[in-house]
Structure 1
Amino acid sequence: MTDNNQDNQEKTVTSSADTLPEAESGKAAPPPAAPAAKEQKSSSSASILAIVAIILAILLTGGLYWHGHKQAVAQADQLNRLQAELAQQQSALQAGKAEQDARIAAVLSSQNSTAEQLDGLSRKVLDLDSKRPNDWMLAEAEYLVRMAGRKLWLEQDVVAAAMMLANADERLAALNDPSLLPIRQALAEDIAGIKSVQRVDREGLVIKLNSINEQVDRLKLAGVIMARAEEPDFTLSGDIGDWKENLKKSWASFSDNFVTVRRRDGNVEALLSPQQHWYLSENLKGKLLQAQLAVYREQQEVYDSALVQSRQWLQDYFADDSVRQFMLEQIDQLSGQQIDVDYPEQFTAQDRLQQLLDDRLQRLLTGR
């Protein structure tokens, strides 16, 4: 930029020298000092701009270098952290793999030991099967006794329980083993105890209660029963001495055409609204349903209370017709039923059969 300024100055001087003769021929030329000052001032401004540009370039370069250096340091720190995490995860993975290998080895060892035990037990069972084939029938008898207990205590099925105990006794009789006589005696006592249990026809009771429940919608509410009104006697007497009484009767007969007053004796209950009638019918159905559930649950008090309440509502709120009469008769028949039954707490033969099987299995395992 300085060289360009100097060239411009030389051109200016040259042009001034070239035009000097022309100025001398006409007007006087301006003094040469003013152009030199302008040239010196423009030269100093250009120098300042150049210095400022250099400083800005240096600052920009330094800022870019500092920013790049910070990013490089941050990336290096992040890389080191990721490498440390990767090393930690690799070590944890190796430790987990070693632990898993140890567990697999332990499981394989346990499986091998279990397989050996099963092989030994299978051989002993085969040996027992060849030596004592009747023990399977003994196990069948024990299973039948257990199933009889479930039928009796869970389902209250006395007939099925007695049949299973009888089948168990047949299995023991087929073994023809005198040592089993005490167990057969215990089975006979258990069968006798079951047969002595009072049988309750629960299905029949529930069916009857259901038939009563179906008749509820056919019931009619009892209407208001009014007492018979007293009819006044307006007959006049033919005796002259009864003129006062005849006068009263005549006046009463005359006034009866305007106001009639009849007296009725007795309590009159208010009628039920349709909504109350619906609630009453539904409550009656609920009581009968409660009695049905009590039959299956053997809840004697609940059963008796439900029937008593049902009978009371039938008598108080419903009309005396054939439907109500039928329901009352059925409830009277069901009220005397005993639904609570005392079952034997356990079978005597079950513990003895289980003990016999355990003893024989123990002898088998010990090889005696």
Structure 2
Amino acid sequence: MTEQQDVQTSTAPGQEATSQTTHASQAAAQPQQPAQSKGRAGVLMGGLAILIALGLTGGLYYHGHQGALAQQAELAQLKQQLTQVSDRLAHSGGEERALLGELGKQQQTLQEEFKGLQNRVLDLNDKRPNDWMLAESEYLVRMAGRKLWLEHDLVSAITLLGNADERIKALNDPSLMPIRKSLAEDITRLKAMPRIDREGLTLKLAALEDQIELLPLSNVTMPAAQEQQSQAVSSNPDEWESNLKKNWVKFTENFITIRRRDGAVEALISPQQEIYLRENLKTKLLQAQLAVYREQQGLYEDSIDKAQRWLGQYFDTDNSATRYLLGELDKLKGEQIQFDYPDKFSSQALLEQVLTERLQRIATGN
């Protein structure tokens, strides 16, 4: 378009011939066609580029708008969750504060009660500072009962009761005189009981047991031979009966032969039976020792009785060791090893009653 304008402006002032103008316009028209096609292509390309740019811009805007909407939804959801969490924390915080307040009140109440108990204990200690000695006396009486009824230890029981009386005496309380009187009665009753030397009895039985191996067994004793009367026949006819007897004796001597035997007589039992006898005798003495500690009077007497019977039956009673053993067993058999102990101490019930009363006064604060 610019070239055409240039050609028109150049021909107008000179007013040249029409033929020349026609040839000139034809010559100028030929190069203007490709220029117009190029211009149209450029316009098309520019429009297409604008459309593409607009499309990309619209797509980017749509995508960004959708992302913004999603983010806004997520933010709204997070805000809602934070609101719920804050509400829960506020609610739980209120419960915890209420619980802590209640626990604080309970702790304060317990502290006040504890202080009150401390004051009461201090007050009671000022009033009765030696009541613990009374409880110790009650414990000693119970221990004395265990020593007496379980171990049959009479000496220890008496000692423990005496210690309990010393504790009560140190209290110097006139209201406790009935307890001291009851303790004196219990101690007197125990001292009046017969005492047994268990260790001494068992040692004697053990010493006798060691002597069993030295005892000799008894032998068979043969009776003394009687003097035989003269077997000579008398010539007196009046003695025909005695003469007949004498002739009969002489006749029978040919059928019966009597021989004398010199040397020691064999024992009544075999060597193996002798071993069993001595061991059984030792066992009986061991049973007697065990019966002493268990205070079984029947077993004790039965064991010694059988030992005495076996000694007299199978051993030589003429021997001095056998006679000594039989005599000692006879002495030991008369020992009393079983006693009837009191079932309870009268002082124990009184002590328990006094302690119970004082504990009740402590609980009530009187």
TM-score by length of 2: 0.59
Q: Render the CA deviation track for 1:84-106: whole Å, top value 9, x for unaligned.
A: xxxxxxxxxxxxxxxxxxxxxxx
Cα deviation 1:268-289 (Å, max 9, x = unaligned): 9972111111111111111111
Contact persistence 1:229–1:263 (CA under 8 A): no
Deviation for aligned residue 1:228: 2.8
1:218, CA displacement in angstroms?
A: 1.0
Matches for 1:224-239 after TM superposition, within 5 Å: 224-230=220-226, 232=228
Q: Deviations over 1:244-294 (max 9, x none)?
A: 999x999999x9999841699xxx997211111111111111111111111
Aligned counterparts of 1:143 and 1:272: Cα–Cα separation in 2: 61
Q: 2:356 aligns with which of 344, 355, 358?
A: 358
Closer/same/farther in 2, CA of residues 115 and 283 from structure 1, 3 Å limit: farther
- Matches of 1:295 and 1:128, distance apart in 2: 51
Q: Distance in 2 between matches of 1:257 and 1:218?
A: 48
Q: Name which of 313, 317, 337 aligns with 2:335.
A: 337
Alignment pair present for 1:192 and 2:188: yes
Give the TM-score taking structure 1 as reference length. Answer: 0.58
Structure-2 separation of matches of 1:216 and 1:137? 56
Q: Does 1:327 align with 2:291?
A: no
Distance, in Å, in 2 between the alignment partners of 1:356 and 1:219 is 64
Percentage of pairs with the same residue:
54
Amino acid at match of 1:333: K
User: CA separation of 1:128/1:301 partners in 2, compared to 1, >3 Å: closer, same or farther?
Assistant: same
5+ long unaligned stretches in structure 2: 1-108
Q: Does 1:178 align with 2:191?
A: no
Q: 2: distance between equivalents of 1:114 and 1:336? A: 70
Aligned to 2:36: none
Q: Note the alpha carbon deviations across 1:124-159, whole angstroms, 9 max, x for none.
A: 555533432110111121111111112211222212
Distance 2:199 2:316 in 1: 30
TM superposition shift of 1:231: 5.7
Which runs of no fewer than 5 residues in structure 1 stay unpaired? 1-112
Measured on the aligned residues, the alpha-carbon RMSD in Å equals 3.9
Which residue of structure 2 lines up, in the alignment, with residue 160 of structure 1?
156
Aligned residue pairs total 253
Which amino acid is the alignment partner of residue 296 of structure 2?
Q
- For 2:134, the equivalent position in structure 1 comes to 138
2:21 aligned residue: none
1:206 corresponds to which of 180, 202, 224:
202
